[in-house]
């Protein structure tokens, strides 16, 4: 009987996991998660990037159709009006201006009501918009109607906010924040860079880009046209700071965090043609990418981010798009030397930003 009882106990006993086995199992699970999560995140980012490029292409096609119908590029106010120094603090952006023509919404100057806002780059250049009529063809437009999820006011209540720096213009600033901005798949507002019809050749940097229109020499592009987003500390859905250094030191290299010299160099890389060398001054663009350039900040949700390969470069100059020195293709920082070789690369590829050019 004693032997039978012992055998019965032996048959029903169970062996559990040891502490070491549990730790090994947990480590394996952690490794699998570490492998899978970034892969899934990368796949999502790739899909969003593809959707953003498709969106940029659709906007570009709408702009091209508008030009075909009207013989002018979309943008209710001219590039020079958008580049007025006053707009540096008002926050009316290039894409908002373009959408006045593509999506419509403009109503009679005498119109009033809860849904009516008055917008424009200066106190003298303004127009009234009915927010409920945008994209309906009842008040112009009809060329492009963004999905509701891609047409988001940067008013600080949902995703992002515009920079407001001019207290005397608070009404206009609030209106500009209420006027929806077109956002990409990452929730970041898309910029529109409108080319000024300046006639002089590009002999100096100021012939290509300026902070704002000086009233003297015209540039091809003006930073003031997008200052409302390039100066904000709450950019898009992720709330990044385009203008200021964040906790990890990230910022936009075309924002206020860098010197004018460096900012203009990056803007020439962004907006200058990477295929047409300037035979008179190889350090400057001879042509632009387009009459209109639509610009997404890309996966990192910031315009030409300082943490990207191009943003981290100790020296990145526009002329490096065309000239290399020496047999090994070494790029110097002082400009093309006597042994320079001509080539054509796009330095914008060193950023994850995406663009669509219209009217080359």
Distance CA 238, CA 226 (A): 19
Distance CA 337, CA 357 (A): 31
Q: Are 131 and 179 contacting, i.e. CB atoms less than 8 angstroms apart? A: yes
Residues with Cβ within 8 Å of residue 197, at least 6 apart in sequence: 79
Q: What is the DSSP string of 216-261?
A: SS--SEEGGGGHHHHT-SSBTTTTB-SSS--TT---BTTSTTS-HH
3-state class of 208 per DSSP? Answer: helix
Q: Which of 265, 275, 248, 359 is nearest to 304 (CA)?
A: 265
- Give me the phi and psi of 84, to 5 degrees please: -60, 140
Distance CA 189, CA 180 (A): 10
Distance CA 90, CA 228 (A): 7
Q: Are 186 and 301 contacting, i.e. CB atoms less than 8 angstroms apart? A: yes
Distance CA 338, CA 332 (A): 12
> Tens-of-pLDDT digits for all 360 residues of the chain?
444 544 545 555 556 667 777 777 788 888 777 777 666 656 788 899 999 999 999 999 999 999 999 999 999 999 999 999 999 988 899 999 999 999 999 999 999 888 999 999 999 999 999 999 998 888 888 999 888 889 999 988 778 888 866 555 556 668 899 999 999 999 999 999 999 998 889 999 999 999 999 888 999 999 999 999 999 989 999 888 887 766 677 899 999 888 999 999 999 999 999 988 887 787 899 999 999 999 999 999 999 999 999 999 888 888 888 766 655 545 544 555 555 666 778 999 999 999 999 997
For the entire predicted model, the pTM comes to 0.84
Distance CA 319, CA 283 (A): 4
* Cα–Cα distances in angstroms (integers) from residue 56 to residues 52, 255, 342, 353, in the given order: 6, 22, 31, 12
* Cα–Cα distances in angstroms (integers) from residue 274 to residues 167, 215, 277, 278, in the given order: 40, 29, 7, 10
Q: Which pLDDT score, from 0 to 100, does residue 173 have?
A: 65
3-state class of 358 per DSSP? Answer: strand
Count CA atoms within 13 Å of residue 258 on its CB side: 23
């Amino acid at each position: 009987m004693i032997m039978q009882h012992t055998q019965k106990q032996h048959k029903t006993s169970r062996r559990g996991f040891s502490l070491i086995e549990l730790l090994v199992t947990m480590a394996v699970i952690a490794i699998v998660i570490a492998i899978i999560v970034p892969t899934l995140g990368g796949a999502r980012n790739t899909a969003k990037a593809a959707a953003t490029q498709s969106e940029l292409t659709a906007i570009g096609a709408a702009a091209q159709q508008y030009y075909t119908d009207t013989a002018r590029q979309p943008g209710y106010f001219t590039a020079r009006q958008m580049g007025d120094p006053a707009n540096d603090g008002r926050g009316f952006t290039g894409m908002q201006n373009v959408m006045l023509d593509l999506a419509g919404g403009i109503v009679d100057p005498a119109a009033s009501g809860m849904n009516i806002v008055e917008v424009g780059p200066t106190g003298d250049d303004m127009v009234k918009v009915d927010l409920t009529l945008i994209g309906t063809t009842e008040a112009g437009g009809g060329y492009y109607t963004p999905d509701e999820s891609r047409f988001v006011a940067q008013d600080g209540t949902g995703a992002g906010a515009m920079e407001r720096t001019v207290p005397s213009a608070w009404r206009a600033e609030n209106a500009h924040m209420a006027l929806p901005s077109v956002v990409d798949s990452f929730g970041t507002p898309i910029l529109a860079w409108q080319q000024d019809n300046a006639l002089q050749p590009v002999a100096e940097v100021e012939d290509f880009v300026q902070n704002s229109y000086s009233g003297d020499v015209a540039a091809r592009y003006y930073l003031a046209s997008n200052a409302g987003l390039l100066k904000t500390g709450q950019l898009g859905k992720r709330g990044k700071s385009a203008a200021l250094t964040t906790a990890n030191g990230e910022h936009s290299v075309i924002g206020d965090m860098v010197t004018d010299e460096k900012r203009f160099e990056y803007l020439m890389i962004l907006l200058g043609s990477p295929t047409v060398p300037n035979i008179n001054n190889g350090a400057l663009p001879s042509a632009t990418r387009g009459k209109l350039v639509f610009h997404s900040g890309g996966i990192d949700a910031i315009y030409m981010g300082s943490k990207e390969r191009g943003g981290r470069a100790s020296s990145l100059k526009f002329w490096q798009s065309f000239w290399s020195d020496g047999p090994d293709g070494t790029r110097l920082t002082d400009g093309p030397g006597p042994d320079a070789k001509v080539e054509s690369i796009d330095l914008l590829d060193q950023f994850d930003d995406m663009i669509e050019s219209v009217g080359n």
